[in-house]
Amino acid sequence: MNFRKYLVLAGVTLFASSGDAMLSQGMKQVGNVSIHHLQSVIFAILNPWVAVGIVLLLGFFAAYMTALSWADLTYVLPATSLGYVLLALVAKFFLHEHVSPLRWMGIALITGGVGFVAGGPALTERTEDSSAPLPRLANPARHGAPHSGVVPHSEEIEL
């Protein structure tokens, strides 16, 4: 893996944990929200902490999609789970939440598991057949698409 890919994984971790922390802080200020009262949801979104949290979580989503474009889910998800460690530290020292010893033990197990996953390949090796493109439909008009009048290629299949 190159530096750019490590940077994307770090972005996933940082955006997720900081976005979640911002959302938590904002929702503590807002209080109870009900989906049945749309005004309370809008009021919550307008809270600066919640708004920044949403933006950070959008950054997380973009970085996460980027990581999944070049690595398997079974690699990306555990590699970014170090965010749980960061989130626990943020919750403890900035949000002043109680993190029980049992949770710290769980976080230590996650960290150890990440070490096992990081030793494996980022992308599953694929055989020649599994990377071949899927065949196109021979007659799209039969499946609700307008007929183009184009003769199908030999690789197309009739369904």
Interval 48-67: pLDDT, tens: 999 999 999 999 999 999 99
156 by Cβ neighbours in 10 Å (0-12 / 13-18 / 19+) ranks as middle
The model's confidence at residue 34, banded by pLDDT at 50, 70 and 90, is confident
Which tokens in the block code for residue 26? 């904002």
Q: Average of pLDDT values for 145-157?
A: 50
> CB within 8 A of 56, min separation 6: which ones?
15, 18, 19, 22
**C-beta of residue 123 within 8 angstroms of C-beta of residue 76:** no
> Once rounded to an integer, what is the mean pLDDT over residues 83-97?
89
- CB under 8 Å to 90, separation ≥6 — which residues? 17, 18, 21
Phi, psi (rounded to 5 degrees) for 2:
-95, 175
pTM, to two decimals: 0.69
Task: Residue 12: count other Cβ atoms within 10 Å of its Cβ.
Answer: 27
